[in-house]
Structure 1
Amino acid sequence: MRLPLVLAAALTFAPQPAAARDTLDRVVLLMRHGVRAPITGEAPVDTKVDGEWPTWPVAPEVLTPHGAQAIAQVARYDRRWLAANACPIPGSVRIWTNTAERTIATGRAYADALAPGCDLPVDHNPAGKVDPLFEPLRAGATAFDAGKAVAAITAYTGGVNALTARHADAIRELDRVLGCGLPAGCSTPGPATLTPARDGRGVELTGPIRATSGTAQVILLQYAEGMPMVQVGFGRADAATIRRIGTLHAALFDVFTRSPYMAAHQAGPLGAHMLGTLTAAKAPRLEMLVGHDTNVTALGAALGVDLDAPGFARNDVAPGGAVALKRWRGRKGPYVTASYRVQPLDAIRSGAATVVEIPLTIPGCGVRCPLDRFDTLLRAKLAPVVAG
């Protein structure tokens, strides 16, 4: 799917050169939504705990007010790329989100802080219409083969039993936090299996990683939300613990997004769209795409990079964390730089205006990659979008 491209020549960016006398002229970001309440069943209902799960201020899956405030902090940081304090020319900034409430609300919080009082539009598909940018497998946007996917994931991970074994220490740490005290552990995952989804549009994972990954994420969200520490992980999880058990959530992406085959299909439509924005003669000067952790990890894998941020396990994408692709005008022609723009976990928790931007080195191209070379490298890692 392609979004309409518009010219915004009058919008300029604040000086932020990657090299002397180079000019930044276009930025495209793919961001995970902000802090939300847990998804129903994210921590499996049969998980045994010593304590009570805390109450959230909003319904399941919904962006919290605290999460919206954190998104506003990153939007104010991103505003540094806009030179003028006046409202952007209509169409010069484009914000496109998935259809979930948490992504739409994130887009709205971002727009209102990026350009206060300017009523920037936040666009998305109508409710009930699957967006192939953010849910390409469900939309059938690529020629995905679930059998090939299972084989590719098995080759990448060494198999689901090996994946489980690598994370045995984190599973034990999570059991300590849950506090059930049972020798068999606090979840009842059953055997680890990886099979094609029945409809052929994905893969299905069972076992310890599937059973524990969501629980680890829920505890991280409690901390990010700023809940009292007595409520975070039943009072048994500090920041260091949360980072360690976060490897369980990151392990989920080893299955669903980070093998070359899964990355190609999960990032195919989004990657092609972002390349289109970077290379088109007429395009928004600033584009924000708001999706999910699966989207960001798939793009990172397609780029051949890991996503690291203070407080988070490697490749466990932060709420509000974004991969930023920037096009520069250099003396030898246009080139692209990539970075991971993110708030540290403690900054999200405290509400601090702390944002870090971590440069990403693209394999085969380095830190500054000629635009045509970048287009060729990334496109080669993406599954083609099929006509729908």
Structure 2
Amino acid sequence: MLYRLRQSALLLGTLCRLAVAGTTALTIGTSACAATDLPDGAVLERVVLVARHGIRSPTQSTEGLTLKTGRTWSAWPVPPGSMTEHGRTNLALMATFLRTVYAPLLATLGKPHCTPATSPVFVWADSADARTLETGTIFARVLSRGCVLAPASLPAGKKDPLFNAMANGLVVLDQAAITRTLTALSLKDDARALPPAVHTAEQTLQHLFAPQGCNTLHTACFTAPAQFGWKKGVPHATGGLALSASVAENLLLEYVQGLPPTVTAQQGQANLLATILPAHTYQSQRLRRLPALAAARGQLLLPTLLDLLSSAPPHTVPPSARLILFAGHDTTLDMLASLFGLEWHFTDQPDPTAPDTTLGLEVWRLPGQQTMVRFVLFHQSLAQLRMATPVTERPDGGAAMVLHSSLCPTALCSLAELTSHFSSKPSTAPL
């Protein structure tokens, strides 16, 4: 599927007229507004955000990584899969930035006697992992200026079907159909149809970790043919691409955490990451963004989001909420990208779903009273994640990226256009 993408020159709340229902319009100049498809007088009514958690350690132990790659990896200051203090710092910077961007929606925070039930901020976090609960806590406290001290969630450690409807067996996949699709993709790749950037990523990792090639026993092979099987009811990839994707992501986490590099390259670590991350992105496109998998994973989150966009919030969300945030994973972002027909990449960040990356679904009311939805994306550059610098400290000032959904003819989507692509089943989400 082909997608269109447009980079906005707009930093919401600082570069363009932003009017909010019930508040005074904020005017900073209108020269950039023409590029956003937002007519003068458009009113931002609310926004729904979906964010990836902060920087974490690899989910596999360093001993496991060493066994898998033949190299000794740097030790992490936290257990596998846990968010680091550096990650918390970066996440707070993103939350502070978003609070500034959407300040007009949060005007009531300055009033006395703010409570979670009356706050304009509502946060729901995936309860399955401590890192997403921590992420939700940071977002809740920073966005609400301390009015909301913790996110709403299921009990800690419980799998939340809102973020993955397959986790509790709520959705059962058609294994035969998905296997046929993945087999066809694998055969295509075996026929040397891999994108050049992905092929280069595999070759680069092979040279760095095992330059003698794949013929030696117990040597990491980054160029082996991809294979697919099933594990716990979902497709599971093995082979060179899966290994390349995993190692590339772990090297990125190692770099942004500021740890000593496991492997070094003459072109420098940042350039190395730009070379090898295409393997991770390609693997995500083939598995996480596979339509059948995305539809199954998002069977509860999708209708919940559509309800929130159409002013029919679940009973858990207070009527006062104008900014609703879901603290999830990179898999959550990949799933929504597939469902809503979105695609993006960054020039300063090789991972399109890097830690703290946040997708926004903005609800705008146009002068003719029509309600439209606009997709935007916020991220931190590779250097910002490594150095923990404010989001605004980069050449574009932290500008939001405006995404064009393939479901809609323009960057502004009507609710009817969005909902027409999905079934009208009511959500049974725990929210």
Q: TM-score, normalised on structure 1?
A: 0.85
Between the aligned partners of 2:361 and 2:425, the Cα distance in structure 1 is 20
CA drift of 1:86 comes to 1.8
Question: Across the two proteins, how many residue pairs are aligned to each other?
Answer: 370
Separation in 2 of the partners of 1:336 and 1:157? 37
Match of 2:263 in 1: 234
For residues 286 and 175 of structure 2, the distance between their equivalents in structure 1, rounded to whole angstroms, comes to 12
Partner SS state of residue 166, structure 2: helix
The amino acid across from 1:182 in the alignment is Q
Cα 1:302–1:361 shift into 2, 3 Å: same
Tell me how far apart the structure 1 counterparts of residues 399 and 253 of structure 2 sit (CA, whole Å).
Answer: 20
Q: Distance in 2 between matches of 1:106 and 1:115?
A: 14
The one-letter amino acid paired with 2:168 is A
Tell me which amino acid in the other structure corresponds to 1:96.
W
1:49-78, Cα deviation, whole Å (9 max, x unpaired): 45x411212111111111111111111111
Alignment-derived partner of residue 217 in structure 1: 249
Secondary structure of the 1:213 match is helix
**Do 1:13 and 1:25's aligned partners in 2 also have CA atoms closer than 8 Å?**
no
Establish whether residue 98 from structure 1 lines up as the match of residue 120 from structure 2.
no
Q: Which amino acid aligns with 2:213?
A: P
Partner of 1:289: 326
CA distance in 1, matches of 2:184, 2:413: 30
Which amino acid in the other structure matches residue 338 of structure 1? F
For residues 328 and 387 of structure 1, do their structure 2 counterparts lie closer, same or farther at Cα, with a shift above 3 Å needed? Answer: closer
1:158–1:151 Cα change, 3 Å: same
Please tell me whether residue 375 in structure 1 is matched to residue 419 in structure 2: yes
Per the alignment, residue 78 of structure 2 pairs with 58
Where does residue 308 of structure 2 map in the other structure?
A: 277
Tell me which residue corresponds to 1:183.
Answer: 213
Q: Structure 1 residues 118, 68: closer, same or farther in 2, change over 3 A?
A: same
Matched, 1:320 2:341: no
8 Å CA contact 1:14, 1:82 repeated in 2: no
**SS of 2:256's equivalent?**
helix
Query: What is the match of residue 255 of structure 1?
Result: 286
Distance 2:420 2:61 in 1: 41
Secondary structure at 1:268 match in 2: coil
Measured in 2, the distance between the counterparts of 1:177 and 1:114 equals 42
**Shift in CA distance, 226/41, structure 1 to aligned 2, threshold 3 Å:** closer
What amino acid does structure 2 have at the position aligned with 1:240? N
TM-superposed CA distance for 1:278, in Å, is: 0.9
Whether the aligned pair in 2 keeps the contact of 1:142 and 1:384 (CA below 8 Å) is: no
Change (3 A) 1:128 1:36: closer
TM-score normalised by length of structure 2: 0.77
Indicate which of 74, 85, 96 corresponds to 2:94. Answer: 74
Q: Is the 8 A contact 2:86 2:257 kept in 1?
A: yes
Name the amino acid aligned to 1:86: G
Equivalent position amino acid for 2:307 in 1: G
Partner of residue 395, structure 2: none
Q: Distance in 2 between matches of 1:138 and 1:334?
A: 34
Root-mean-square deviation (CA, aligned residues, Å) is 3.0
The superposition leaves residues 66-121 of structure 1 with CA deviations (integer Å, 9 ceiling, x where unpaired) of: 11111111111111213325276533311111120111111112222223333433
Q: Report matched runs for 1:323-338 at 5 Å.
A: 323-332=359-368, 333-338=370-375
| Structure 1 residue 247, shift from structure 2 partner | 1.2
CA contact (8 A) 2:121 2:144 kept: no
2:356–2:379 Cα contact (<8 Å) kept: yes
Of 67, 71, 74, which aligns to 1:46? 67
3-state SS of 1:46 partner:
helix
Residues 169-178 or 69-78, more deviating: 169-178
1:30 has 2:58 as partner: no
In structure 1, the residue matched to 2:150 is 121
2:159 to 130, 141, 166: 130
1:25 to partner: Cα distance: 0.8
What do the CA deviations read for 1:328-362 (whole angstroms, capped 9, x no partner)? 11123110000111111111111111234110011
Q: What's the offset of the Cα at 1:176?
A: 3.3
Q: Could you tell me whether the CA contact under 8 Å between 2:43 and 2:366 is conserved in 1?
A: yes
**Change in CA separation of 1:356 and 1:347 when aligned onto 2, cut-off 3 Å:** farther
Q: Distance in 1 between matches of 2:399 and 2:185?
A: 30
Aligned residue identity for 1:300: A
The aligned amino acid for 2:300 is P
Structure-2 residue corresponding to 1:86:
110
Alpha-carbon offset, residue 41 of structure 1 = 5.2
Larger radius of gyration: 2
Mapped to 1, the partners of 2:239 and 2:85 lie a distance apart of 34
Structure 1 portions without partners, runs of 5+: 1-8
In structure 2, distance between residues paired with 1:367 and 1:287: 21
**CA positional deviation for 1:12:** 6.0
1:183-202 maps to which residues of 2 (within 5 A)?
183-184=213-214, 187-188=220-221, 192-197=226-231, 199=232, 201-202=233-234
Counterparts of 2:192 and 2:140, CA distance in 1: 40
How far apart are the structure 2 equivalents of 1:134 and 1:28?
15
- Report how far residue 134 of structure 1 moved: 1.4
Residue pair 1:192, 1:206 contacting (<8 A) in 2 also: yes
